[in-house]
Structure 1
């Protein structure tokens, strides 16, 4: 790459960054995420829909599929297990793999539960933060109380 090309790339990048970092303007009509990026803001309705999807679809699905995996793996372990003192090494390997799988399913269910709870508490947390900041600013304001 020639030096002139490198300088042009740096200049183009700097111009793009400075244009995207201006804070004294409204967000574009398509959202504030910039070109091709979604807006990070979400509505209470979107949070409720996400909470409902976790509660009604994801959690039951993960629990159901985890149970199904336990049943089928248990059957395979039994089929490959020792009969008359002889069995396949596969049975022990499947059993250990399933123990790891069960831990992962439990962790996923816990994560889904905490995400569901966090979605429900986001509005409250943001409102409390706003009130706290307003209280702090009111204490420091010279105009307050006049």
Structure 2
């Protein structure tokens, strides 16, 4: 066997490389299902309500300023700003909701995948005669 072939075999059989086992992070997921669920809960209980409250407050103040400046060009400008603000807040709230749903879905899928894989391994182990050796 040539030296190149032996080197290739060593590289293929060994997963540790400059980025660690199997790549960055050492083959460990970035977060657990519980951490994903906690992040989704933070979005639901903190980010969404706080964002809505801040957005509503800013809208209320801008509308009050527009009413105070009724008849001035500035009032119509503030009304346009409010419309743009409403659209941006709606998009942000939609994004937060989407991220929350994605986190929960991913957490559930990881858990289901783990349960399914565990079931398959247990079934193979029952069928295997290796434990008897």
Which of the five TM-score ranges fits, normalised by the shorter chain? 0.5 to 0.7
Partner in structure 1 of residue 68 of structure 2: 79
Structure-2-length-normalised TM-score: 0.63
Q: Greater relative contact order: 1 or 2 (C-alpha under 8 angstroms, separation 6 or more)?
A: 2
Aligned residues of 1:47 and 1:120 also touching (Cα < 8 A): yes
Partner in structure 1 of residue 83 of structure 2: 99
Once the two structures are superposed, residues 46-105 of structure 1 have per-residue CA deviations (whole angstroms, 9 ceiling, x without a partner) of 1122111101110001110111011101100001112xxxxx211111100110001110
State how far apart, in whole Å, the 1-side matches of 2:112 and 2:44 are: 26
Partner in structure 1 of residue 24 of structure 2: 32
The structure that is helix-richer by fraction is: 2
Partner in structure 2 of residue 10 of structure 1: none
RMSD (Å), alpha carbons: 3.2
**93, 102, 106: which is aligned to 1:118?**
102
Structure 1 residue 41 corresponds to structure 2 residue 18? no
Query: Which ranges in structure 2 are unaligned for 5 or more consecutive residues?
Result: 1-13, 117-133
Q: Quote how far apart the aligned CAs of 1:40 are.
A: 5.7
State how far apart, in whole Å, the 1-side matches of 2:89 and 2:45 are: 17
State how far apart, in whole Å, the 2-side matches of 1:91 and 1:102 are: 16
Partner in structure 1 of residue 92 of structure 2: 108
Aligned residues of 1:81 and 1:91 also touching (Cα < 8 A): yes
**55, 60, 64: which is aligned to 2:49?**
60
State how far apart, in whole Å, the 1-side matches of 2:112 and 2:37 are: 19
CA distance 1:129–1:40, shift in 2 (3 Å): closer
